[in-house]
Amino acid sequence: MKFHAPLIRGTLIKRYKRFMADVSLDDGQVITAHLANSGAMLGTADPGMEVWLSPAANPDRKLKYSWELVRVDGHLVGVNTAHPNAIAAEAIKDGAIPQLTGYTTLRREVKYGINSRIDLLLEADGRPPCYVEVKNVHLKRGDWAEFPDAVTVRGTKHLTELRAMVAQGARAVMLYLVQRQDCTGFRPAAHIDPVYAAGLAQARKDGVEALCHTCHMSLDGIHIGPMLPIAE
């Protein structure tokens, strides 16, 4: 996934109202950027951090910039949670996730379960459909990438829906996409949401597969990176 335009550097002043951030650009201008991230953003939204913004593709949009990246301890970290589905879809089409190859069609945001939509639905003749739920990960604790960074009732519901798909004979995959390159493994953030952590453990016992990949981060774009081991 390439950014549609060159990114603009700035310094974070503050994040507020969940989806907004004030940023001082290098030319001295102070702007308000849109933030596509409803999480706590622990360790990635401290005042004074170097951030990178994309200009809005729609000139009529009220907020003219979107917050894309932040630099943490010398590493770029992606904070825009609107991107992981596109990054994952691109990687699957390119054959970059071996466990998800061999399907002829890929559809996004398909209705399933009880009032839910699956991020990616993979299908092929002669194979059970594969339901892929994609989660953005940017929290790091020690050397571990962790999810979630806030209590997620919605995320726990998704695990239940995936378990139901497996029970019906389909394949279900929980794909964690880590928008940073400085982690050596992945684990659920049980200290933040023990219910989600327990739900993931049960889902895996019931046949839901779990995969985790890092991302190659740059100012030009974000692309799938190597797999990370997942803690049992």
User: Which of 53, 50, 54 is closest to 71 using CA atoms?
Assistant: 50
Question: Which residues fall within 8 angstroms of residue 41, CB to CB, at 6 or more apart?
Answer: 15, 79, 138, 149
Q: How far is CA 97 from CA 22, 34, 102, 153, in A?
A: 37, 31, 11, 28
Tell me the CATH class for 8-78: mainly beta
Q: Can you give the residue ranges of every domain in the chain? A: 8-78, 84-227
Mean pLDDT confidence for 72-98: 97
* The model's pTM: 0.95
pLDDT per position as a tens digit, 109-125: 999 988 899 999 999 99
pLDDT per position as a tens digit, 16-67: 998 999 999 999 999 999 999 999 999 999 999 999 999 998 888 899 999 9
Q: Same topology for domains 8-78 and 84-227, yes or no?
A: no
pLDDT per position as a tens digit, 124-158: 999 999 999 999 999 999 999 999 999 999 999 99
Domain covering 84-227: architecture: 3-Layer(aba) Sandwich (3.40)
